[in-house]
Amino acid sequence: MHSVVCIKQVPDSAQIRVHPVTNTIMRQGVPAIINPYDLFALEEALRLKDRFGGQVTVLTMGPPQAEAALRKALSFGATDAVLLTDKAFAGADTLATSCALAAALRRLDEREPLDVVFTGKQTIDGDTAQVGPGIAKRLDLQLLTYVSRIVEFDPKGRSITVERRAEGGVQVLKTALPCLVTMLEGTNEIRFGTLPDLFRAARVPVEQWDRAAAGIVDVTKIGLKGSPTVVSKVFTPTPRTDRAQMVEVTDGNLAAGAAELIARMVSRLPALEEALAKRA
Ligand SMILES: Cc1cc2nc3c(=O)[nH]c(=O)nc-3n(C[C@H](O)[C@H](O)[C@H](O)COP(=O)(O)OP(=O)(O)OC[C@H]3O[C@@H](n4cnc5c(N)ncnc54)[C@H](O)[C@@H]3O)c2cc1C
């Protein structure tokens, strides 16, 4: 049983501030954390290891500092870690990121065949939710997105059944292994690392793979060269300028005044009427 969890080191968005004058993001001194969705993915992979044994490899593409994220994941119980790091990867958009990660996953599969590749639903910095599906496409894996729970897992029968959050409900999907799962938030909680795992995480070597080690020959598919996306503008949304509205009640009929206010709100926010009706 071999799961690989793709994790990304991201700035802790709770601590990011916007400069009051220039409106630019102030990143100085902002600590780096593991993308929170990736921790839900890691916990799910560790639960599979608890039940069926085997290994959980954590994989990240990033600068050398991203090793800290891998060591943290090892302290939670991941068994192996690979850091994909090379100047050739710099400037990667989601397409080039998926290509590089897919190449590394191919190498890992050659060592020990993959059963499940996990990613988070999305990151809290890039926010695109494209990398997981991009990897699945490149590796021709069954793709299960927005998974809230693994319902059944049968490594011998080579199948997986999951609950997937969909618009207006929950879907239960069954598919064949190997597959790629993108994990939702709030479905589990990452465990505390055991003392042996904490010691192991500090000592165990983290493999560092450059482009060649990941088996990437065509450099036009990675980094800036492999990135067709152009970020044309970054801006903070304009603050809303809505003012509070007043209804004057002259005849003491407060109910009519309240009804008038609610009618105005509902005309601007149609979904509110439905939500209020449901709660009534
Ligand atoms: C033109 C352009 C240039 C860019 N240049 C850079 C750059 O030089 N340096 C830089 O850091 N970013 C750069 N970025 C941002 C980078 O493309 C994205 O951060 C990256 O592709 C992941 O996209 P995302 O954060 O939206 O991930 P999502 O698609 O939202 O992530 C989904 C999941 O995929 C996995 N995942 C995502 N990224 C990684 C990763 N790196 N390693 C392992 N797993 C991962 C995680 O499990 C994550 O939860 C650039 C973006 C563009 C458009």
CA of 85 to the centre of ligand 1 (A): 13
Q: Which of 10, 56, 93 to mutate to test the pocket of ligand 1 (most atoms within 8 A of CB)?
A: 93
pLDDT digits (tens, 9 = 90+) for 107-135: 999 999 999 999 999 999 888 999 999 99
* Same domain (yes/no): 103, 210: yes
**Does residue 264 lie within any of the structural domains?**
yes
Range of the domain at 247: 242-280
Q: Decide: 181 and 6 in contact? Cβ < 8 Å.
A: no
| Predicted pLDDT of residue 237 | 74
Angle at 79 between CA 176 and CA 63, to 5 degrees: 95
Task: Specify the range with the lowest mean pLDDT, choosing from 25-39, 109-123, 241-255.
Answer: 241-255
**Does residue 183 lie within any of the structural domains?**
yes
pLDDT at 50 over 90: yes
Pairing of strands 9-11, 142-154: unpaired
CATH code, domain carrying 204 = 3.40.50.620
- Mean pLDDT over 150-168 rounds to 95
**Does residue 234 lie within any of the structural domains?**
no
| Residue 115 burial by Cβ neighbours in a 10 Å radius (0-12, 13-18, 19+) | buried
* Same domain (yes/no): 63, 107: yes
* Same domain (yes/no): 135, 248: no
| Predicted pLDDT of residue 235 | 74
Please report the beta strands in the chain, taking only residues with DSSP state E, as ranges in sequence order.
2-6, 9-11, 17-18, 25-26, 32-34, 55-61, 80-84, 116-120, 142-154, 159-166, 169-176, 179-183, 207-209
Ligand 1 surroundings by CB, under 6 angstroms: 6-8, 35, 37-38, 60-62, 90-94, 97, 101, 119-120, 122-123, 125-132, 227, 229, 231
* Same domain (yes/no): 146, 271: no
- The closest-lying atom of ligand 1 relative to the alpha carbon of residue 5 is 47
Number of folded domains in the chain? 2
| Predicted pLDDT of residue 279 | 82
* Same domain (yes/no): 255, 140: no
| Predicted pLDDT of residue 25 | 63
pLDDT digits (tens, 9 = 90+) for 254-274: 888 888 888 888 888 878 888
pLDDT at 139 over 90: yes
- Mean pLDDT over 195-205 rounds to 94
Alpha-carbon Rg of the chain, whole angstroms?
23
| Predicted pLDDT of residue 24 | 62
* Same domain (yes/no): 246, 218: no
| Predicted pLDDT of residue 131 | 98
- Mean pLDDT over 166-185 rounds to 95
Neighbours of 65 (CB within 10 A): 11
CA of 76 to the centre of ligand 1 (A): 23
* Same domain (yes/no): 9, 51: yes
**Does residue 235 lie within any of the structural domains?**
no
Q: Which residues, in sequence order, are bridge partners of residue 2?
A: 55
| 254 vs 67, higher pLDDT | 67
Q: What are phi and psi of 93, to 5 degrees?
A: -90, -170
Q: Which of 7, 82, 94, 234 to mutate to test the pocket of ligand 1 (most atoms within 8 A of CB)?
A: 94
**Does residue 237 lie within any of the structural domains?**
no
| 20 vs 177, higher pLDDT | 177
Q: Decide: 179 and 142 in contact? Cβ < 8 Å.
A: yes
**Does residue 231 lie within any of the structural domains?**
no
* Same domain (yes/no): 252, 135: no
**Does residue 236 lie within any of the structural domains?**
no
The Cα 254–Cα 246 span in angstroms is 12
Task: Tell the residue nearest (CA) to atom 39 of ligand 1.
Answer: 8
CA of 247 to the centre of ligand 1 (A): 49
- Mean pLDDT over 37-48 rounds to 97
Q: What is the pTM of this model?
A: 0.85
| 26 vs 5, higher pLDDT | 5
* DSSP structural state of residue 5: E
Place of tokens 């060592």: 111
* Same domain (yes/no): 116, 215: yes
Considering the chain, what is the average pLDDT of its residues? 92
* Same domain (yes/no): 206, 251: no
* Same domain (yes/no): 203, 254: no
* Same domain (yes/no): 266, 221: no
- Percent over 70 (pLDDT), the chain: 96
Q: Decide: 165 and 48 in contact? Cβ < 8 Å.
A: no
**Does residue 211 lie within any of the structural domains?**
yes
* Chain center to CA of 90: 20
